[in-house]
Amino acid sequence: MSEEFEVRGAHEDRLDEAAEREPKGMAGQLAVMTAILATVGAMFSYMAGATQADAGLLKNDAAIRKTEASNQWNFYQAKSSKQNLSELGQQLASDARKPFFEGEIRRYAAEKAEIKLAAEKFEKESTEFDEKSEAKMHQHHRWAQATTALQIAIAMAAIALLTKRRWLEKAVFVMSGVGLIVGGLAYLHI
């Protein structure tokens, strides 16, 4: 018959004791809180980056529409110049040529009206894209503020853990609340 003996060292006993212990009290609360804050902060940071990129794309679309509007206004000016030359030609031309210039004047006036509508449409679109971009930038700032508040709370948690100050632990919860509220405002586009 063989008997089995287990010889355990002091090191193994310590490892077992450490594994059985759960973080309790202030250290446990702050560890869990820090992990949650880091996770939520990462999500807020992602949203801040995404909304900033969206704002940039919208601002780019606004600039493109503004350029298209400017092109239309330049085209409008060219037609106005041609219309003015036709009006001058009408004044200087013989009676036989005046109907031609009258037709040209009417044609340029009609073309200018269409060009003006297109230019105004592009300007309106540009303004709308600018407004959307500003709204996205506002939302980006909210996400960034929320992320910053959570990062401050994480730093305060580390200091609270090192100094074992209960009032600082409470401040961590307050700052976390501020970060979550501001994140909620960002989510709601406020």
Give the tens place of pLDDT for each residue, 70-91. 999 999 999 999 999 999 999 9
pLDDT at 97: 92
Of residues 115 and 30, more confidence is placed in 115
pLDDT at 28: 83
Nearest to 82 by CA among 103, 62, 65, 66: 103
Nearest to 152 by CA among 169, 125, 132, 172: 172
pLDDT at 13: 66
Mean pLDDT of the chain: 90
Nearest to 112 by CA among 75, 66, 86: 75
d(CA 91, CA 136): 56
Average pLDDT of the residues in 161-175: 91
The overall pTM is greater than 0.85: no
Residue 179 has pLDDT above 80, yes or no: yes
Give the tens place of pLDDT for each residue, 14-64. 666 655 555 567 788 888 899 999 999 999 999 999 999 999 999 999 999
d(CA 24, CA 125): 59
pLDDT at 27: 82
Alpha-carbon radius of gyration of the chain:
35
